[in-house]
Amino acid sequence: MYKTLVTIALVLALSPPTRADEASVKKALEGKLGAPVTSVTKTPYLGLYEVYTDGQIVYTDEKVSALLVGSLIDGKTMKNVTSERMQKLTAIKFSELPLALAVKQVRGDGKRVLATFEDPNCGYCKKLAKDIAKLDNVTIYTFLYPILSPDSLEKSNQIWCSADKAKAWNDWMVDGKAPTGKGDCDTAAVKKSVELGRKLAINGTPTIFFGDGERIPGAVPLAKIEQKLAQTPAAVK
C-alpha cells in the first residue's frame, strides 16, 4: 500500500500541468490585473507559471500570491529563458505581412528574406541600415515606422514619395543625405505601416522579422543576422 501511494505521488509530481491548473491561474490573474491574459504555461522552474499578457511575460505561482517581472535564467545553461520565449510568443506569419506597404530592396538572388520596422530618425536604425547594406542575396522589406517625432513622419512621407524609395531610404540612413521629395503623394502606406506596427505591439525601432516569423527587437550584430538568415527557410516574397 505504501509503495502504491509513493508511486502515485511520484506520478502526480512528474505529470505535466493540466489545463485546469493553467486556466485557474489565468482566471485569477485576469481578475487581479483587470486585463486579458493571452496564455499561461507551467514552467519547469520552481513551480512557476509563465503568463503572457499585454505583450510581456510575468511569472507567478499557482495561487497567484506574487508576480515576478524580469528575465528568468536557466541555472544550468545560463540561457535567458524569458528572451527565448518572447521570440516565440511574438513571432508572426511572415506571409501575412502586407509587403506592398514596405520599401523593397532586392540584392543578388534575393532568396533570403527579412522585414524591418524603422524610424528615419532612429540612430540604431541607421546603424542597422549600414550593416544591412553589406548583405547579399537578400530581399529586404522596410516598413516606415515614424514614431519618434513629427519630423520622422515628414521624412517618411518624403521617402515614400520619392521616385526611387529604396535609394532615398539608403541615401538618408546610410549616407546622411536628406530626402528631397515633397511628401505630397498618397502616403496612406506610411499611416497603415504605423497601424500595423501598433497591432504587432512594436514599441521600439528597429524591429526585425525573419522569414520564419521570428522577431528580434533592436539593432543586432550583422553576424547574428547572417546566422539567422542561414538557418531560416526562404519565405514567400
Domain that holds residue 24: 14-89
* pLDDT at position 184: 87
Q: Tally Cβ neighbours within 10 Å of residue 70.
A: 9
Note whether 109 and 206 are same-domain residues.
Answer: yes
115 with 39, same domain? no
pLDDT of residue 21: 86
Confidence of residue 234 (pLDDT cuts 50, 70, 90): low
Grid cell in block for residue 36: 486579458
Q: Are residues 82 and 193 in the same domain?
A: no
Residue 2: pLDDT band (50, 70, 90) is very low
Place of cell 499561461: 40
What are the DSSP calls for 48-74, one per residue?
Answer: -EEEEETTEEEEE-TT---EEES--B-
219 part of a folded domain:
yes
Whether residue 154 is found in the same domain as residue 220: yes
* Cell output for 90: 511574438
> Domain check: are 227 and 118 in the same one?
yes
What average pLDDT is seen over the chain? 88
21 shares its domain with 117: no
Question: pTM for the complete prediction?
Answer: 0.76
CA 120 to chain centre: 19
Residue 142's beta-bridge partner residues? Answer: 103, 116
Question: With 70 as the cut, is the pLDDT of residue 126 above it?
Answer: yes
Number of domains in the chain: 2
Question: How many Cβ atoms are within 10 Å of 119's Cβ, its own excluded?
Answer: 23
Please say whether the beta carbons of 154 and 120 come within 8 A.
Answer: no
- Alpha carbon separation from 19 to 24, 26, 63, 86 (Å, rounded): 8, 10, 15, 21
How far apart (Å, rounded) are the C-alpha atoms in residues 236 and 95?
A: 6
Q: Is the preceding peptide bond at 179 cis, omega within 30 degrees of 0?
A: no
Do 107 and 84 share a structural domain? no
Three cell numbers written together for 81:
529563458
Domain final residue pick, 89, 123, 147: 89
Cα–Cα dist 186/24, whole Å: 50
Query: Regarding beta strands 112-118 and 138-144, do their DSSP bridges make them parallel or antiparallel, or are they unpaired?
Result: parallel
Beta bridge partners of 118: 144
Check whether 236 has a pLDDT greater than 50.
no
Q: Per-residue pLDDT for 10 more than 80?
A: no
Nearest to 59 by CA among 77, 75, 81: 81
- Are residue 185 and residue 113 in the same domain, yes or no? yes
Q: Report the chain's terminal Cα–Cα distance, integer Å.
A: 64
pLDDT per position as a tens digit, 12-59:
344 444 456 899 999 998 888 888 999 999 999 999 999 999 888 999
pLDDT-derived band at 181 (thresholds 50, 70, 90) equals confident
